[in-house]
């Protein structure tokens, strides 16, 4: 798309060449980009699309920024990702699958991985490996958290990159945004919630609709896990519920691994 | 034109997920034509084992980035049926409204943004922003209306937050519903414009006799639950979905395939419409008539048209649902639900066709067994057989780029959701 050249403080902006691509995922984070109808055309005028297979037939490997969705679960994906890393000046991991392994890493918890394949495909062989985040394979420059990503946050990130600024990643729990929205605490309504330890930036998306936080954005930099566990227990939610909630998107699982390696 | 040639499309664009087309022609005759699915599978059924009934709908919504609402609703239906729970009339009404808005959003995305560029000689919607700004504006307005309505009723347009077993965590604000109702009313003109655009498209005159599978409507056009119907006359109960889907594994695909009375069958908007035409809203039937769509239609490219007909149906029916909801006494948003040992099956018509979730729960309300059958996996075999017939028909008369475009358009007409199909 051509269109008028955007300016900032009178200075003409250079439209970066952007690629959107997906590995093992639902492709929902890319769709979130298209889901922002009211600002979509203005957003697109900021960038030049080099590759967006889900929406555009023309493709090029000449790009500055790669937005990568999905976790890595196969050898061919690993090779493709390394190529993307070589092509892109900036690689952005987009969404929980790319940042932490996402829901896909739930299959890693089974000791018998052959059994996982057998359960779905019977005696047929199927190429797959443990689901890992993008940063397990190549260095990542930026991360946009969430399942799904919040489209405003996505747009803010792109605008920052276009302006040459470093995007700000908030380091406060969802509780902060939830309180600011004047919601009743879900614990008061008898529901468990990971809001106290999950990184904000979503605008308390789920809890504002009285739906518990499942921790899709992963933990804040220093989550108080012992106190979180205590709060859960006080409200009658045992280890099984707590562990299940922590395990869903991989953010807390990764945190645990980091803690273990420190110890 | 060369009489012997090979055409290959790697990672077909403007579809959800990764699929390849391989065509081999010798002396103007088809040697082989293959639709291959190469998407990395995610093993959702395996990973659901041990998960609690509260987590399952939220997680299974993550199977799909386009029809996450449909997956979540299907999952909730399976959970509720396993526990012997009957949702209230209010819950059913709002769930159907939400379902309708996902259908509208998904169909508009597919027809206007993914399929239409082919008919207009473009590689994407981007050049159309300048060449046909009015059309793009209309399409964006329709999509935004549907997405805003999904935000209002389902909490979020993608991976919904308010829908849970037992009902809703929160009900939509009535005044906001009224505003959606007004926008739906206005949308009918926009849909008329899109139908007008479609009537100008040259739809390939290709037909292949096909068996169509969908839910069987009783007194309304079916979307959530009920008997299963095939155009070859097979009728089954929701619980007998395995006899309707008959999944099997093939080498050319990481997705499973399905069959019923013939070598393959089709699901989706065209199948629903073929099987339940008389139950469409009269306004939608009129649009079908104008666009030359009538049952039984065996042209897969007409799925695009069937999707727009369904858009008109869901817009009109949503107005009715909102009126009903605003006129009814309000009930509690969510009812208590008691987990128990048992099994439940949910069948829901999502944009790309009939979807099944089947769960068994232990006494603790955790999944012991899980199976899901996805619309696109049911369509893969039919796409394959259509592709062979299409290439056979046009191999001698069409050039490489034209044949590649037609084959790509055929696959796109099914609006495949490939990630879903290798859930």
Nearest to B62 among A38, A103, A124 (CB): A103
Q: CA-CA distance, B172 to A19, in Å (whole number)?
A: 37
Q: Would you state the pLDDT for residue B1? A: 62
CB contact under 8 A, A120 and B43: yes
Q: Would you state the pLDDT for residue A262? A: 66
Tell which A residues from 9 to 48 touch B, by Cβ distance under 8 Å: 23-32, 34-35, 37-38, 40-41, 44
Nearest to B66 among A31, A55, A210 (CB): A31
Question: Which chain A residue's Cα is nearest to B113?
Answer: A55
Query: What residues in B contact A54, CB-CB < 8 Å?
Result: 13-16
Query: What residues in A contact B17, CB-CB < 8 Å?
Result: 27
Query: What residues in A contact B157, CB-CB < 8 Å?
Result: 35
Question: Which chain B residue's Cα is nearest to A34?
Answer: B109
Contact, B83 vs B338, CB < 8 A? yes
Q: Would you state the pLDDT for residue B244? A: 98
Question: Which chain B residue's Cα is nearest to A117?
Answer: B43
Question: Which chain B residue's Cα is nearest to A42?
Answer: B129
The backbone torsions φ and ψ at residue A197, rounded to the nearest 5 degrees and listed phi first, read: -120, -5
Query: What residues in B contact A2, CB-CB < 8 Å?
Result: 130
Which residue, chain included where needed, has tokens 């420059």?
A141
Task: Check if A60 contacts B (Cβ < 8 Å).
Answer: no
Compute CA distances B388 → A57, A246, B381, B385, whole Å: 23, 48, 11, 5
pLDDT confidence bin for B413, thresholds 50/70/90: very high
Q: CA-CA distance, A80 to B10, in Å (whole number)?
A: 14
Q: CA-CA distance, A210 to A30, in Å (whole number)?
A: 26
Q: CA-CA distance, B330 to B94, in Å (whole number)?
A: 12
Which residues are CB-neighbours of B413 under 8 A, at least 6 positions away? Answer: B115, B300, B301, B302, B303, B304
Residue B252, helix vs strand vs coil: coil
Question: Which chain A residue's Cα is nearest to B160?
Answer: A206
Q: Is A235 exposed, middle or buried (0-12, 13-18, 19+ CB in 10 A)?
A: middle
Query: Percentage of chain B with pLDDT > 70?
Result: 100
- Per-10-residue mean pLDDT for chain A, 263 residues long? 62 87 94 86 89 92 96 96 97 97 96 94 92 97 96 88 87 97 97 98 96 98 96 97 96 78 65
Question: Which chain A residue's Cα is nearest to B51?
Answer: A244
**Each residue of B114-148: pLDDT tens digit?**
999 999 999 999 999 999 999 999 999 999 999 99
Name the E strands within B255-381. Answer: 265-266, 342-350, 353-361, 367-373
CB contact under 8 A, A102 and B58: no
The backbone torsions φ and ψ at residue A150, rounded to the nearest 5 degrees and listed phi first, read: -85, 125
Q: Which fold has domain B44-421?
A: Cytochrome-c3 Hydrogenase; chain B (1.10.645)
Closest approach of A161 to chain B, Cα-based (Å): 22
Contact, B395 vs B352, CB < 8 A? no
Coarse DSSP helix, strand, coil percentages of chain A, rounded to the nearest 5 percent: 40, 15, 45
Q: CA-CA distance, B72 to B181, in Å (whole number)?
A: 24
Which residues are CB-neighbours of A115 under 8 A, at least 6 positions away? Answer: B46
Q: Would you state the pLDDT for residue A9? A: 78
CB contact under 8 A, A73 and B162: no
Q: Does the predicted model carry a pTM greater than 0.90?
A: yes
Q: CA-CA distance, B24 to B286, in Å (whole number)?
A: 42
The sign one gets for the Cα dihedral B306, B309, B315, B318 is negative
pLDDT at position B330 over 90: no
ipTM for this prediction: 0.94
Q: What tokens were used for B106?
A: 């998904």
Which residues pair with residue A134 across a beta bridge?
none
Q: Are strands A65-69 and A17-22 parallel, antiparallel or unpaired?
A: parallel
Which residues are CB-neighbours of A39 under 8 A, at least 6 positions away? Answer: A155
Helices (H), B19-173: 44-48, 55-60, 68-82, 89-108, 116-119, 126-131, 133-154
Residue ranges of domains in chain B: 44-421
CB contact under 8 A, A57 and B11: no
Q: CA-CA distance, A71 to A73, in Å (whole number)?
A: 6
Rounded (10°) CA dihedral A239, A242, A245, A249: -80
Residue B25, helix vs strand vs coil: strand
Which residues are CB-neighbours of A26 under 8 A, at least 6 positions away? Answer: B62, B63, B64, B65, B68, B419, B420
Query: What residues in A contact B159, CB-CB < 8 Å?
Result: 28, 147-148
Rg (CA), chain A: 20
Query: What residues in A contact B123, CB-CB < 8 Å?
Result: 56-58
Q: What tokens were used for B41?
A: 């599978």
Query: What residues in A contact B51, CB-CB < 8 Å?
Result: 244
Contact, B213 vs B228, CB < 8 A? yes
Residue ranges of domains in chain A: 7-163, 174-257
Which of A245-259, B99-113, B261-275 is least confident? A245-259
Question: Which chain B residue's Cα is nearest to A206?
Answer: B161
CB contact under 8 A, B17 and A27: yes
Eight-state DSSP code of residue B165: T
Tell which A residues from 87 to 146 touch B, by Cβ distance under 8 Å: 102-104, 106-107, 109-110, 115-117, 119-122, 124, 126, 128
Q: CA-CA distance, B66 to B362, in Å (whole number)?
A: 31
Residue B296 preceded by cis peptide, ω within 30? yes
**Each residue of B280-321: pLDDT tens digit?**
999 999 999 999 999 999 999 999 999 999 999 999 999 999
Nearest to A55 among B64, B113, B254 (CB): B113
Average pLDDT, whole number, for chain B?
96
Nearest to A24 among B42, B55, B123 (CB): B42
Query: What residues in B contact A206, CB-CB < 8 Å?
Result: 155-156, 161
CB contact under 8 A, B124 and A56: yes
Closest approach of A191 to chain B, Cα-based (Å): 11
> Which of B49, B51, B62, B108 to probe the A interface (max A CBs under 10 A)?
B62
Which residues are CB-neighbours of B384 under 8 A, at least 6 positions away? Answer: B34, B35, B252, B257, B264
| Right CATH for A7-163 from 1.10.630.10, 3.30.70.2860, 3.40.50.300, 3.40.50.700 | 3.40.50.700
Question: Which chain B residue's Cα is nearest to A75?
Answer: B40
Q: CA-CA distance, B141 to A211, in Å (whole number)?
A: 28
CA atoms within 13 A on the CB side of A249: 23
Eight-state DSSP code of residue B299: -
Q: Would you state the pLDDT for residue A36? A: 81
Q: CA-CA distance, A254 to A38, in Å (whole number)?
A: 36
**Each residue of B160-194: pLDDT tens digit?**
999 999 999 999 999 999 999 999 999 999 999 99
């Amino acid at each position: 798309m051509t269109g008028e050249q955007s300016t900032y403080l009178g200075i003409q902006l250079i439209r970066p060449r952007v690629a959107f691509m997906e590995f093992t995922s639902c492709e929902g984070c890319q769709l979130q980009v298209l889901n922002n109808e009211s600002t979509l055309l203005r957003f697109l005028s900021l960038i030049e699309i080099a590759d967006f297979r889900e929406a555009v037939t023309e493709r090029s490997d000449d790009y500055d920024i790669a937005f990568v969705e999905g976790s890595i679960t196969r050898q061919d994906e690993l090779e493709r990702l390394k190529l993307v890393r070589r092509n892109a000046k900036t690689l952005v991991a987009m969404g929980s699958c790319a940042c932490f392994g996402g829901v896909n890493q739930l299959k890693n918890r089974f000791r018998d991985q052959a059994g996982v394949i057998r359960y779905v495909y019977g005696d047929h062989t199927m190429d797959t490996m443990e689901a890992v985040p993008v940063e397990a394979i190549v260095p990542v420059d930026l991360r946009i958290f969430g399942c799904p990503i919040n489209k405003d946050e996505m747009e803010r990130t792109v605008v920052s990159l276009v302006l040459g600024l470093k995007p700000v990643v908030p380091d406060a729990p969802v509780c902060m945004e939830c309180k600011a929205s004047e919601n009743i605490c879900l614990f008061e309504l008898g529901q468990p919630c990971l809001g106290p330890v999950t990184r904000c930036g979503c605008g308390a998306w789920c809890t504002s609709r009285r739906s518990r936080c499942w921790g899709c954005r992963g933990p804040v930099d220093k989550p108080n896990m012992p106190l979180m566990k205590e709060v859960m227990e006080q409200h009658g939610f045992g280890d099984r519920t707590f562990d299940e909630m922590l395990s869903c998107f991989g953010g807390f699982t990764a945190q645990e691994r980091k803690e273990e390696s420190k110890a | 034109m060369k009489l012997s040639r090979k055409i290959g499309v790697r990672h077909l664009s403007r579809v959800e997920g990764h699929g390849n087309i391989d065509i081999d022609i010798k002396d103007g005759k088809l040697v082989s034509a293959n639709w291959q699915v190469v998407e990395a599978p995610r093993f959702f059924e395996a990973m659901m084992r041990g998960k609690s009934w509260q987590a399952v709908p939220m997680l299974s919504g993550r199977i799909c980035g386009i029809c996450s609402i449909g997956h979540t609703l299907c999952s909730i239906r399976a959970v509720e049926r396993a526990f012997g729970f009957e949702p209230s009339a209010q819950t059913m009404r709002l769930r159907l409204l939400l379902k309708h808005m996902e259908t509208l959003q998904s169909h508009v995305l597919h027809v206007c943004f993914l399929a239409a560029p082919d008919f207009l000689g473009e590689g994407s919607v981007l050049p159309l922003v300048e060449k046909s700004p009015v059309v793009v504006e209309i399409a964006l307005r329709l999509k935004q209306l549907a997405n805003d309505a999904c935000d209002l009723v389902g909490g979020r347009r993608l991976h919904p937050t308010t829908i849970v077993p037992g009902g809703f965590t929160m009900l939509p604000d009535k005044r906001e519903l009224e505003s959606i109702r007004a926008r739906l009313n206005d949308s009918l003109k926009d849909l008329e414009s899109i139908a007008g655009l479609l009537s100008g498209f040259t739809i390939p005159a290709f037909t292949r006799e096909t068996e169509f599978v969908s839910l069987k409507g009783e007194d309304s056009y079916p979307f959530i639950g009920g008997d299963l119907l095939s155009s070859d006359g097979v009728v089954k109960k929701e619980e007998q979905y395995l006899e309707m889907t008959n999944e099997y594994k093939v080498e050319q695909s990481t997705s499973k395939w399905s069959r019923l009375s013939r070598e393959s069958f089709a699901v989706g908007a065209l199948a629903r419409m073929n099987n339940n035409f008389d139950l469409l809203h009269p306004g939608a039937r009129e649009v079908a008539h104008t666009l030359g769509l009538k049952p039984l239609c065996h042209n897969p490219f007409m799925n695009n048209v069937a999707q727009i007909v369904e858009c008109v149906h869901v817009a009109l029916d949503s107005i009715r649902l909102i009126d009903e909801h605003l006129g009814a006494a309000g009930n509690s948003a969510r009812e208590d639900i008691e987990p128990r040992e048992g099994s439940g099956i949910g069948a829901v018509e999502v944009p790309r066709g009939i979807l099944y979730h089947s769960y068994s729960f232990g006494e603790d309300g955790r999944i012991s067994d899980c199976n899901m059958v996805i619309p696109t996996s049911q369509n893969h075999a039919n796409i394959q057989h259509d592709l062979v017939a299409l290439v056979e028909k046009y191999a001698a008369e069409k050039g490489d780029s034209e044949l590649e475009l037609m084959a790509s358009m055929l696959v796109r007409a099914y609006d495949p959701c490939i990630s879903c199909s290798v859930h």
